[in-house]
Amino acid sequence: MAMEVKICGLRHPAQAQAIAALGFTTLGFICVEASPRYVSPKEIALVLQSLTAHDELSAIGVFANASLPKLGEFLAQTNLNGIQLHGDETPEFCRQVKQAFPQHRLIKALRLRRSEDLARAEAYYDAVDILLLDAYHPEQLGGTGQTLPWQKLQQFRPPLPWWLAGGLTPINVQEALNLLRPDGIDLSSGVEKAPADKDLAKIAQLRAQLDALTILPDVNHPEKT
Among 46-55, 137-146, 149-158, the range scoring the smallest mean pLDDT is: 137-146
Render pLDDT for 41-75 as a digit per residue (tens, 0 to 9).
999 999 999 998 888 899 999 999 999 999 999 99
Q: How many domains does the chain fold into? A: 1
Q: Work out the mean pLDDT of the chain and round it to a whole number.
A: 89
| Structural domain containing residue 98 | 4-224
Q: Annotate 29-96 with three-state secondary structure.
A: EECCCCCCCECCHHHHHHHHHCCCCCCCCEEEEEECCCCHHHHHHHHHCCCCCEEEECCCCCHHHHHH
Render pLDDT for 78-100 as a digit per residue (tens, 0 to 9).
999 999 999 999 999 999 999 99
Residue 139's CATH number: 3.20.20.70
pTM strictly above 0.75: yes
